[in-house]
């Protein structure tokens, strides 16, 4: 029997609008904010985010009345995506499922870094997101470990901290980051 990630529990920091045009603006703002936070950190300009999304600053504030709510919404959206990826890869072979999920985790870490600058570690949204992420990815790790494809002397938290640590450094480009991550993941695989 294959271990499945727990069902995705969507974390909602701001209510997505129902009207199609408003929902498109909301999604565009999240994407623009994610991009701006990755480039400029927590100090990214709200005016720049609105411009990137192709909307006015008033639309940004209607959707996200405070800067904190925007941070929380971007972070929750990233974690929700990460949890859905765990469900999507669950049927793959154990190592392939885990490494596929970890590649998406790397993208998440970029957003997490900027958001953590702005939010407290004990923020309700950060706690809920961390729990959701562990519930989604943990079973992938456990399954790969039970299949003998992951070292027995580590746990899921060790793995996430290692990957987060690696990705927190600056790389020349994504290709270099991917090579370094591949070398580290080779050390995670069980030998013999």
Q: What pLDDT sits at residue 116?
A: 67
- State residue 189 phi and psi, 5-degree precision: -65, 140
| Superfamily of the domain at 16-65 | Homeodomain-like (1.10.10.60)
Query: What residues contact residue 65 under an 8 Å CB cut-off, 6+ apart?
Result: none
CATH fold match for the domains 16-65 and 66-188: no
Give the mean pLDDT of the chain: 84
Residue spans per domain, the chain: 16-65, 66-188
Is pLDDT larger for residue 56 or for residue 11? 56
CA nearest neighbour of 36 among 71, 68, 65: 71
CA nearest neighbour of 93 among 150, 157, 50: 150
Provide CATH code, domain 66-188.
Answer: 1.10.357.10
Query: What residues contact residue 158 under an 8 Å CB cut-off, 6+ apart?
Result: none
* Band (94; pLDDT cuts 50, 70, 90): very high
Side-chain half-sphere of 108: how many Cα atoms within 13 Å? Answer: 24
Q: Is 132 helix (H, G, I), strand (E, B) or coil?
A: helix
Contact 181/126 with Cβ under 8 angstroms?
Answer: no
């Amino acid at each position: 029997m294959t271990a499945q990630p727990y069902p995705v529990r969507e974390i909602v920091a701001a209510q997505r609008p129902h009207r199609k045009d408003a929902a498109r603006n909301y999604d565009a703002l999240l994407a623009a904010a994610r991009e701006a936070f990755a480039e400029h950190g927590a100090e990214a300009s709200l005016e720049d985010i609105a411009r990137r999304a192709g909307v006015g600053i008033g639309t940004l504030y209607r959707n996200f009345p405070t800067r904190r709510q925007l941070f929380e919404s971007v972070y929750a959206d990233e974690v929700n995506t990460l949890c859905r990826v765990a469900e999507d890869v669950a049927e793959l072979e154990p190592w392939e499922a885990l490494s596929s999920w970890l590649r998406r985790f790397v993208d998440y870490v970029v957003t997490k870094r900027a958001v953590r600058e702005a939010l407290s570690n004990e923020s309700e949204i950060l706690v809920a997101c961390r729990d959701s992420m562990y519930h989604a990815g943990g079973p992938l790790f456990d399954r790969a470990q039970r299949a003998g494809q992951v070292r027995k002397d580590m746990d899921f938290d060790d793995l996430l901290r290692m990957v987060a640590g690696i990705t927190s450094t600056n790389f020349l480009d994504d290709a270099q980051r991917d090579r370094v991550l591949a070398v580290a993941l080779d050390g995670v695989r069980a030998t013999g």
